[in-house]
Chains A and B, each alone.
Chain A
Amino acid sequence: MLIPHPLLGLRDSQEFTYLGDAALMNRPDPATPDAEAVFCDYVFLRDNPAGVHRELWFHEQGDRSWLVVTRDTTTHEILGAELASDVKGAAK
């Protein structure tokens, strides 16, 4: 698989390590009363869709940036990649 890095162009996925669902960026607030239950869901549960999946890849053997890659889990087709910092910034 080739990942279209927004800064570096097409890079082999072997340069990256895989973390998982991009929802892991949305860390819950530890100060809320139901934080324990919310954190259990955050740490252990996944949507795990068959189809389009937004996921975190770390460019370990490259520029060490985190990317949010959009990929189809049924075909391995990569539909896009963004810098995780941009995704996080846009959400704020």
Chain B
Amino acid sequence: MKFSGFKVVKEALTGHKGWTPLWRNPEPKPAYDIVIVGGGGHGLAAAYYLAKTFGKLNIAVLEKGWIGSGNAGRNTTIIRSNYLLPGNQPFYEFSMKLWENLEQDTNFNSMVSQRGIINLIHSDGQRDAYRRRGNAMMISDAGARLLSREQLKDMVPFLNFDNARFPIKGGLMQTRAGTARHDGVVWGYARGADMHGVDIIQNCEVTGFKIEDGRVLGLETSRGFIGAKKVGVSVAGSSSRVMAKAGMRLPIESHVLQAFVSEGLKPTIPGVITFGAGHFYVSQSDKGGLVFGGDIDGYNSYAQRGNLPVVEDVVEGGMALMPMIGRARLLRGWGGLLDMSMDGSPIIDKTHIDGLYLNAGWCYGGFKATPASGYAFAHLLATDTPHETATAFRMDRFNRGYVIDEKGVGAQPNLH
């Protein structure tokens, strides 16, 4: 079933009787060529590109709950490619280009909206750092604009420009950045993968790996044994738990990040605004809610909920940046699990076990990476070589001394 304006009109005139489910709900087959563990955005994107771009057949995605019920449904939906380091930035720019064509590619409205992101500047030193970052972005074709205080006053007049501690002196903007609809992304990839023959198997938790002579043969699951020639694990947040079943320890700690949304308001925030110095960022959803967040709680957690001190810290940042936010009522707050890696950057790599591949370590930045992560993981699974933009995301980079540490804080995951 292909979506189009014509189809919408036709269904409107015929009682909406022609819509069909977006994907099948198949029983697992005894074996597949490739099994992706994790039915989030990354896993479904990997399956989609494996089937569509790399022409692979006989693929399954296993999801312990329902698809998109983990971090794909808990993020703040920001898409951007404004990184600094050469190991990262070309990859995120590749992701941005996939975002720009995502809806045409999947024939699904993922509500990609390039409304721009502004990182605020409060000091000369920070302006120098952002100028450098902007240059890195331009080298990778991502585009960047350095904004003056006056330009910002025109664009976002509601900010407090004269905060005593962090007066706003400018900003770095990526106009191509923006937001997307998180579950629209999941559903678009799921539908696309299903249309290309991928079995999406929900309520199917992996309980163990069958590994013999250093080679993976399949997975023990809550719905029985499923054989597999290749297994790709894409379960960020729970990577350590799943890979421990294969006897591996990872350079990852699981942490909790909270996010919040206010009641629906009239359009007030034009894009995404980040106040890094105050541990706060905000955007406005298409439904009108102010979507905002701040730092991670900072201790190991699998609880999918955080604690009140961080709530206080985030709203203090919000009040310092845009005092009018104090008039909005908080609608919801929630927490998601993060694979906080030892350098703040992800892993897309083979493991020492033949046929077992890992996609992990996305920290708090996995959503924007969804298309490129899926594509690069599909590339690795299909060809056994890394995608050209993902060659730095190797697991052995820690031992070799090639960490990709954007913040430069070392092997201390709660500081990334």
Contacts and interface: CB of A to CB of B under 8 A. Distances in A.
A45 B253 CA distance: 9
B147 interface: no
B329 interface: no
A19 B300 CA distance: 10
Contact of A46 (B240, B299, B303, B307): B240
Interface string A25-65: 00000000000010011011111111001010000000000
Main secondary structure of the interface of B (DSSP, over half): mixed
Interface in B226-271: 238, 240-241, 244, 249-254
Contacts of B240: 46-49
A78 B116 CA distance: 42
Interface residues of A, number: 25
A67 B186 CA distance: 42
A74 B414 CA distance: 17
A92 B302 CA distance: 32
A73 B301 contact: yes
A74 B302 contact: yes
A45 B303 contact: no
B253 A18 contact: no
Given A18-B298, A40-B398, A48 B250 contact: yes
B194 to A, nearest CB: 31
A50 B398 contact: no
A43 B250 CA distance: 11
Contacts of A44: 251, 342, 398-399, 411
A69 to B, nearest CB: 9
A37 B244 CA distance: 20
A76 B398 contact: no
B299 A55 contact: yes
Contacts of A40: 398-399
Given A50-B302, A55-B299, A20 B241 contact: no
Interface string A10-30: 000110001111000000000
B300 A20 contact: yes
B125 interface: no
A8 interface: no
B249 A45 contact: yes
Bin chain B's interface residue count. 20 to 34
A53 B251 contact: no
A61 B329 CA distance: 33
Contacts of B414: 18, 20
A48 to B, nearest CB: 4
B18 interface: no
A35 B229 CA distance: 36
Contacts of B30: none
B43 interface: no
Given A40-B398, A76-B307, A45 B254 contact: no
A73 B251 contact: no
Contacts of B302: 50, 73-74
B87 interface: no
B413 interface: yes
B11 to A, nearest CB: 45
B413 A76 contact: no
Contacts of A91: none
Nearest to A53: B300
B309 interface: yes
A51 to B, nearest CB: 8
B301 A46 contact: no
B18 to A, nearest CB: 45
A20 B253 contact: yes
Contacts of A14: 309
B250 A45 contact: yes
A89 B398 CA distance: 32
Contact of B251 (A13, A21, A37, A46): A46
Nearest to A74: B302
Interface of A: 1, 13-14, 18-21, 37, 40-41, 43-50, 53, 55, 71, 73-76
Given A49-B240, A55-B299, 16 more contacts: A13-B309, A18-B414, A19-B412, A20-B412, A20-B414, A40-B399, A41-B249, A44-B342, A47-B240, A47-B244, A48-B249, A48-B300, A55-B300, A73-B254, A73-B302, A76-B301
